[in-house]
Amino acid sequence: MKHQMKMWISASCVALAVGMPAVAQEEDGSELRQSTVTVTGSLIAGTPEDAALPVDVLTAAELKLEGSPSITELIRNLGVSSGVDGQTNQFASNGLEGTSNVNLRGLGPARTLVLINGRRQTYHPYSIGEQAQLFVDTNMIPSAAVGRIEVLKDGAAAIYGSDAIAGVVNFITRSDLDGFEVGGDYSQFDGTDGDYNINAAYGMQGGSWNWVTSVGYNSRSEVPLLEKDWAILPFADNPVGGWSSLSNPGRYVPLGIRPDLGGALGPLAANVNDNGCEPLGGVLAPTCRFQFTQYDNLVEEEERYQIFSEYNRTFENGVDLHLEALYGYSDVPSWKTSPSYPPQELATQVVPASNPGFQQYMADNPGDFPAGTLAALYIGRSFGWGGYPGTGGAQEGFRTYKTTVLQVT
What is the full per-residue pLDDT of the chain (409 aa) written as tens digits? Answer: 444 433 333 333 333 333 333 333 444 444 444 443 333 354 444 455 555 557 778 777 777 777 667 777 777 777 777 766 666 656 665 667 888 888 888 888 888 899 999 888 888 887 776 566 788 888 899 989 998 888 887 777 777 877 888 888 899 999 989 999 998 889 888 878 889 999 999 999 988 999 999 999 999 999 899 988 898 999 999 998 899 999 999 999 999 999 888 888 889 988 898 888 888 886 667 889 999 999 998 888 999 999 999 999 999 888 999 999 999 999 999 888 999 988 878 888 999 999 999 999 888 888 889 989 999 999 999 999 999 998 999 999 888 989 999 999 8
Identify the burial level of 54 via C-beta atoms within 10 angstroms of its C-beta, where 0-12 means exposed, 13-18 middle and 19 or more buried. Answer: middle
Record the pTM. Answer: 0.75
- Give the distance, in angstroms, between the CA of residue 3 and the centroid of all CA atoms in the same chain: 17
> How far apart (Å, rounded) are the C-alpha atoms in residues 249 and 379?
9
Q: Buried b / exposed e across 385-394, counting CB within 10 Å, b at 16+?
A: bebbeeeeeb
Task: List the one residue out of 361, 391, 385 whose CA is nearest residue 375.
Answer: 361
Give the separation between CA 399 and CA 220, rounded to whole angstroms. 14
Query: Are the CB atoms for 367 and 246 separated by under 8 Å?
Result: no
pLDDT at position 16: 32
DSSP summary character for residue 393 = B
In the chain, the domains with their CATH numbers are 2-13+39-226+297-338+396-408 (2.170.130.10)
**Burial grade of 336 (CB within 10 A; 0-12, 13-18, 19 or more):** buried
Q: Cα–Cα distance between 95 and 396 in angstroms, integer?
A: 12
